[in-house]
Amino acid sequence: MDEILYYLKRVPIGGVLAFLGVALLWFLSASPNATAFVPKVTGMPIQQANGVALAHSFALRIVVRAGGGRAGTVVEQHPQPGTPLSKDEPITAVVTKGVPQVRLPVVKGKAVEDVRGALQAAGVKPGTVVFRRDATVAPDHVITTEPAPGSFVDVGSTVEIIASSP
């Protein structure tokens, strides 16, 4: 501490102020015009996307549009990830208003006809049935669905059924 006080007594105050002024001007003038690569925010909920943008020193400009998917999710971004962009320009995030979603039921091992009824009751349309060989599931019983059980899908969407071949 004594060495710092000794040094400060020896340096003219004008020199210290000039140095601090130049450093402040350099810091303030360089930051807004700095360029960085745009991070990927598509597929994220808007809160998470905003956090990612802020972590990279960008702001988000949010555009909301009607459409499917989970409400509040970024479905498009401009510019694309990896594009160099001045940090004083925002990333445009297109966010979906969404439509009602439903979680697909677990259907493994159930009869195909029972699964058709369960999907209709959940608010989705049973799609085509694709048969595959599976030694662990009885013939004409469901192995899985596409999208997978437990996934969130738009109400009214079509779900493919994958069943064990007869």
Based on the fold, state whether residues 51 and 94 are members of the same structural domain. yes
68 & 79 share domain: yes
Q: Count of domains in the chain? A: 3
Q: Do 29 and 40 reside in the same domain of the chain?
A: no
Q: Is 89 exposed, middle or buried (0-12, 13-18, 19+ CB in 10 A)?
A: middle
Tokens 């208003």 -> residue: 97
Are 93 and 44 within one domain? yes
How does strand 125-132 pair with strand 91-96? unpaired
For the residues of 72-114, what is the DSSP string, one character each?
Answer: TBEEEEESPTT-EEETTSPEEEEEE----EEEPPP-TTSBHHH
68 and 111 belong to one structural domain: no
CATH, residue 134? 3.30.10.20
Is the Cβ–Cβ distance between 153 and 119 less than 8 Å? no
Q: Are residues 11 and 64 in the same domain?
A: no
Task: Please give the Cα distance from 96 to 48 (Å, whole number).
Answer: 15
Same domain, residue pair 133 and 89? no
Tens-place pLDDT, residues 55-96: 999 999 999 998 888 889 999 999 999 999 998 899 999 999
pTM for this prediction? 0.53
Check whether residue 91 and residue 141 sit in a common domain: no
pLDDT tens digits along 132-153: 999 999 999 999 999 999 999 9
Q: What is the residue range of 139's domain?
A: 101-164
